[in-house]
Structure 1
Amino acid sequence: MLFFSAEISAQTKDISGKIIASGDVVGIHVINKTASKFTITNNQGEFVIPVKLNDTLIISGVQYVPKEILISDIIMQTRAVTINLEDNVNLLDEVVVGKILTGSLMTDIENSDVKRELNFYDLGIPGYTGPKKTQSERRLYEATSGGGLVPLNPLINWISGRTKRLKEQIEREELELAITEAKAKFSKLIFEDDTFSANMQNEYFYFCGDDPEFIDISDLGIDIKTLEFLKSKLEAFKIHLEND
């Protein structure tokens, strides 16, 4: 029985939560302090986060009083929790001793004794880690995002065709980057037995880029598959030159 009980307490489950508050409930930070997991609420104040029995959740929003929730047996069984937040009323001449939760996610993570460095992929928010967005990607994000009951900015950009043009621009930039990386990594291996000029080698790689399969294989990041594909396209390229 002790073994069974320990096994149950060690199980991780995704629970669904809902924030109830008098104001805006989107973008509220939900931190599993025990497991170093993070997420934020959607427009309806809903969230999903992995937890174990006796984990501690910290709910933090700039306009609300921070709250801690202990994951109980009932929460684990129902896989659901509803959390009511109180408005945060700022008081003058207030002295705070010790660690506080501010509503700033970075500050709250530091103050909550979480040891692991914050990985914003845990939040489901793109762009916080990894490579920076290109200018075209930032423009596309701006063109497809907006607030209000009926977001006008995405609608106008879609009707005008700007969103489509930005997506095509990003695809061209990604293809150009993949071609450049392939040339740098595989040129010596591909042309070790051929005497193609530099211009002809460039033409070959753009010939490969015209194949829709090229970008899919490049995205896999498996060098052997990429090399096999490029060698097969080399034979096709030679046939193409002969036909020309």
Structure 2
Amino acid sequence: MQSLTLKLALVSLLGTSACGVPQPPEEELSAETDTAEQPLHGEEVSLPLCDLSNMPSGWSCWLDEHQQAPCPANQTPAWFWLRPEAGTPYVHADASLGSRDVATWDLSWGEDAFYARGESVFCESTTETYQASTWSQHSAGPGLPLLQSRLTSFIQHLRPALTRGTVFVSFDEAFCASAGGCTEATSLILVLNKRDTFPTWTEVTRREFPLIRGAPEGAFEVKARIDPINEVSFEVYVRNASNSISEVVFHDMRLFTEKCIPDMSTPGQCLP
């Protein structure tokens, strides 16, 4: 967690496509953000996917995509791949369709952060960027959304504080295209929760966005004002249509909470 003064006017970043070109407002967008906020003091947490000093068990670091050269001990390479050491079969190969086996494993940092059904993570430490592949498929029955990732934080303020979750993702269609399971009905669901009494979490708000086929990397966000002295969590789900399989690639995920900087000249107030 790091302190920062965060300008929420991220229109040049959050409203752009992967190549950095702003999308015209009249076109259907693959991402939605709200940029009408003033600069705020706050704290931000992010997925520690590429922090080798804090890597959960069950994953290994490699210098190459095909797991031929392990990462040197006690060093962080300029770029590297994380792979499950064993993995659990999640999707089985279908020779008639030319689709491959997919084995996944979760990454967990206790209650601080969680990343579900990951197949691989590519990290570029010089630019602090990553591409993290996570999988989901339609579940039996009503096809409930599947949790893909979670971040938690705490609100330190004197009044309801702005809380915002942002995720950058892309929809990799290579597998679903080979398996005949791509669909226009796949969606991304963002949820903010609060916990004022342990152990119960209460949903505050959610937003659902279509994952548009062929769209570049997009930014999606959800926000609300949440009462102080609350734990908060930001969760990302994927909803799949019947018989569909989705590989969603995470490029960034962050949870921002507004923080009170006490105004020493006016006791009980915060600096603007």
Give the TM-score of the pair, scaled to structure 1.
0.23
Which has more strand, going by share of residues?
2
Greater RCO (CA < 8 Å, at least 6 residues apart): 2
Return the TM-score normalized by structure 2.
0.21
Higher-helix-fraction structure: 1
Rg larger for: 1
